[in-house]
């Protein structure tokens, strides 16, 4: 492993200390990263920006709305101005991106992105009764052919606030329409959907609560990791370390999760170098990452089974046949939209009665002051 001089180790260690000292809470971190990203985005011409495609008719009642899920090339441009967190442009494995439109207005109400689930999940392990045996090819094939994750389930705002937009998108994810679309794309038989809330520790509830039988809470994820350093600072550090390493990258170019692994390697090199030189900075550097880990959240994890009653046995290879539950038909598209309209209608009328309807479109720019945690 690369060994830095005492001077170099203290120099680069201080960069990490100063960076993470900027944040007291996870929303501080997310806001800084988001605003830095938006500062590089060119301003739109009046009436011609992606924000003009967002839903803004807040006189419309839920019972009058209809929806369509479309794959569009501008997905990333649209979601950049709506999402509070940074969105990964590419995720290994399966993927399906939907922009959800209200069809009477032809305006956007939200974004959905399906992808391959993470392999290690404590709440899922508890649901299945055991961890996935990653060395068993049959187990992993069944899991990869059966499970899908919602990485982005993001309503535009204030559609989300006024109409329970997050629940609309989540229930679409758990519909037979979504399942059939994914089955046809990947020629398989999906039977389990999972997703996590953006927050768990700082917010005790989620937009996914109150959604049985479509989704149910199965536990909190682990959160023992350091938030990624922002792109500009990361680019500088990556070049700096490569220069110290004779021009060689710390991590192979074809490695998965390359940025995360590179940052871990940087931290290990600094820690080892500070220890070797008996530097007084070692303890402040160590404490810096204890504090940084405290910024991260145990996310609330939710799981749906598309109306099948034996998904646990199916994923554990105890059966090769999926069995429909008595409520299987409730997952049909028309049924789930009816479910949403009932709940959203109550929400909308209560907000209207109390004068709490929000009517100003919330989109991110370099000068935005939007609440990260709603």
DSSP-assigned states of every residue in 50-77 = GGGGB---TT--GGG--EEEE--TTHHH
DSSP-assigned states of every residue in 179-246 = HHHHHHHHTS---EEEEE-S-SSS-S--TTTT-TTT-EEEEEPP--SPPPPPHHHHHHHHHHHHHHTT
Amino acid 199: pLDDT = 63
User: What token pair was written down for 82?
Assistant: 């709506």
Amino acid 99: pLDDT = 97
Amino acid 114: pLDDT = 96
* Whether residue 240 has pLDDT greater than 70: yes
* Whether residue 35 has pLDDT greater than 70: no
Q: Which of 89, 78, 6, 79 is nearest to 282 (CA)?
A: 6
Half-sphere exposure of 282 (CA within 13 A, CB side): 13
Q: In this structure, how many other beta carbons lie within 10 angstroms of the beta carbon of residue 139?
A: 15
CB 76 within 8 A of CB 112: no
Residue-averaged pLDDT of the chain: 88
pTM for the structure as a whole: 0.81
Lowest mean pLDDT among 145-149, 216-220, 363-367: 363-367
Q: How far apart are CA 217 and CA 196, in angstroms?
A: 9
Domains and CATH numbers, the chain: 6-29+226-295 (no CATH), 41-223+297-353 (3.40.630.30)
- State mean pLDDT over 321-350: 97
**Coil, helix or strand for 98?**
strand
* Whether residue 343 has pLDDT greater than 80: yes
Amino acid 45: pLDDT = 47
For residue range 69-117, list pLDDT tens digits in order: 999 999 988 988 888 776 666 666 899 999 999 999 999 999 999 999 9
Q: Which residue has the tokens 């959907």?
A: 193
For residue range 159-192, list pLDDT tens digits in order: 999 999 999 999 999 999 999 999 999 999 999 9
Query: Which band of pLDDT confidence, cut at 50, 70 and 90, is reported for residue 208?
Result: very high
What's the burial of 45, exposed, middle or buried (CB within 10 Å: 0-12/13-18/19+)? exposed
Q: How far apart are CA 95 and CA 115, in angstroms?
A: 4
Lowest mean pLDDT among 106-120, 241-255, 288-302: 288-302
Q: How far apart are CA 95 and CA 52, in angstroms?
A: 27
Those residues with Cβ within 8 angstroms of residue 197's Cβ, 6 or more apart along the chain or in another chain: 203, 206, 207, 208, 299, 300, 301, 302
- State mean pLDDT over 221-244: 83
CB 202 within 8 A of CB 373: yes
- State mean pLDDT over 12-32: 80
Sheet strands side by side (includes 216-220): 67-70, 95-102, 107-115, 147-155, 192-196, 300-304, 216-220
Q: Is the peptide bond before 108 cis (omega within 30 degrees of 0)?
A: no
Q: How far apart are CA 65 and CA 172, in angstroms?
A: 14
């Amino acid at each position: 492993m690369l060994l830095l001089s005492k001077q170099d180790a203290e120099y680069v260690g201080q960069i990490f200390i100063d960076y993470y000292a900027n944040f007291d809470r996870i929303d501080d971190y997310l806001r800084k990263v988001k605003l830095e990203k938006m500062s590089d985005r060119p301003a739109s011409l009046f009436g011609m920006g992606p924000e003009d495609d967002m839903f803004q008719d807040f006189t419309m009642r839920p019972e009058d709305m209809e929806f369509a899920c479309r794959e569009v090339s501008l997905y990333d441009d649209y979601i950049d101005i709506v999402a509070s967190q940074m969105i990964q442009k590419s995720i290994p494995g399966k993927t399906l991106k939907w922009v959800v439109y209200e069809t009477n207005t032809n305006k956007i109400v939200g974004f959905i992105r399906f992808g391959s689930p993470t392999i290690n999940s404590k709440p899922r392990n508890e649901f299945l009764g055991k961890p996935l045996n990653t060395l068993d090819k049959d187990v992993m094939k069944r899991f990869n052919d059966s499970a899908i994750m919602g990485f982005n389930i993001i309503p535009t705002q204030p559609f989300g606030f006024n109409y329970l937009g997050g629940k609309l998108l989540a229930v679409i994810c758990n519909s037979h329409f979504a399942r059939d679309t994914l089955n046809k794309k990947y020629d398989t038989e999906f039977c389990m959907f999972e997703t996590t809330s953006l927050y768990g520790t700082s917010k005790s509830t989620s937009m996914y609560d109150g959604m049985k039988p479509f989704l149910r809470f199965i536990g909190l994820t682990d959160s023992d990791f350091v938030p990624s350093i922002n792109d500009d600072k990361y680019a500088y550090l990556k070049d700096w370390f490569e220069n110290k390493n004779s021009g060689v990258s710390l991590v192979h170019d074809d490695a998965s999760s390359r940025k995360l692994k590179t940052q871990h390697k940087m931290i290990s090199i600094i820690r080892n170098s500070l220890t070797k030189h008996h530097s007084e900075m070692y303890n402040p550097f160590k404490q810096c990452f204890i504090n940084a880990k405290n910024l991260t959240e145990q996310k609330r994890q939710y799981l749906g089974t598309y109306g099948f009653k034996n998904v646990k046995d199916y994923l554990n290879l105890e059966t090769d046949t999926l069995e429909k539950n008595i409520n299987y038909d409730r997952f049909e598209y028309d049924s789930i939209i009816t479910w949403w309209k009932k709940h959203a209608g109550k929400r909308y009328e209560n907000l209207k009665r109390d004068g709490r309807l929000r009517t100003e479109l919330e989109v991110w720019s370099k000068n935005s002051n939007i609440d990260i945690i709603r």
